[in-house]
Amino acid sequence: MPELTLIPKPDGEKVPTIKKIHLQLFPDSYLIQTIEIFEMSGNISRVRFDHIQLNQGLSADLLKFTLPPDVVVVEFPTF
């Protein structure tokens, strides 16, 4: 199974919170199968993807957002 380990570069005096990110890939498609995030604190988060379906399309109804009536929208000025 193809694997990839990502290690953050040092950034001056900032102490990173992530030690490394480990990816396992599906061998036939190279899509991500598993993500493991190793934190400096010792925590490990794992996400496993299964039954992946590519380019299935989304209904426009899934992307509609209706603001609640008590929300005030503030427009930012454009320059």
* Dist. CA 79–CA 71, nearest whole Å: 25
pTM: 0.67
**pLDDT value at residue 50:** 92
**pLDDT value at residue 72:** 92
Residue 79 has pLDDT above 90, yes or no: no
* Dist. CA 79–CA 76, nearest whole Å: 10
Q: What is the pLDDT of residues 29-77, one digit of tens each?
A: 999 999 999 999 999 999 999 999 898 888 888 888 889 999 999 998 8
Structural domain spans, the chain = 3-51
User: In sequence order, what are the beta bridge partners of 44?
Assistant: 38
Question: What does the pLDDT average to over 15-39?
Answer: 95
